[in-house]
Homo-oligomer: A and B are copies of this chain.
Amino acid sequence: MPDFTVTLAWDEAKQGRLAAEANPPLPVATPPVFGGPSGVWSAEDLFVGSVAGCLMSTFLYFAERLDVPLAAYTSRATGRMEKTRDGLRFTSMDVTIEATAADEAARRRAADLRFKEKLEAYCPVSTALACPVRITLNLYAGTGPAAE
């Protein structure tokens, strides 16, 4: 199984650059709420985004493997940060997915095959979190909201 390696170099103030193999360099900075610049991905943003992205990859994997043709897929993920007696902590992550299957038969198939439970069980990133990850999966057929 693969390792995933990323390097980071600090540039100035509260900003640096992430690098990984052939990927384009990715600026990363302290979020604006903690004094960093706006318009730059923060580690916190990337953390939440990695959960969203891994759930998409996991969904696409099962869609291909279980023959559920997809017309559209969007999601919205929110990580909640709270001040605890131990310091700032992510205390929960909520991800709402709008997935539109190609037709009603495919939609029903995704529901019957328990795609939501598959995501909860097999997404490598969200299963690596210590805080609860709550997934809401809304499945549509053909021309659901996610297809617009």
Partner-B contacts on A (CB < 8 A): 1-10, 14, 16, 18, 20-24, 26, 28-31, 33-34, 36, 38-54, 56-57, 60-61, 70, 72-83, 86-90, 121-122, 124-125, 127-131
Contact = CB atoms under 8 A, between A and B. Distances in A.
Contacts of A73: 9-10, 16
Contact of A53 (B39, B46, B75): B46
Given A18-B53, A43-B53, A43-B57, A124 B89 contact: yes
Contact of A61 (B30, B45, B125): B30
B79 A14 contact: no
Nearest to A18: B49
A38 B60 contact: no
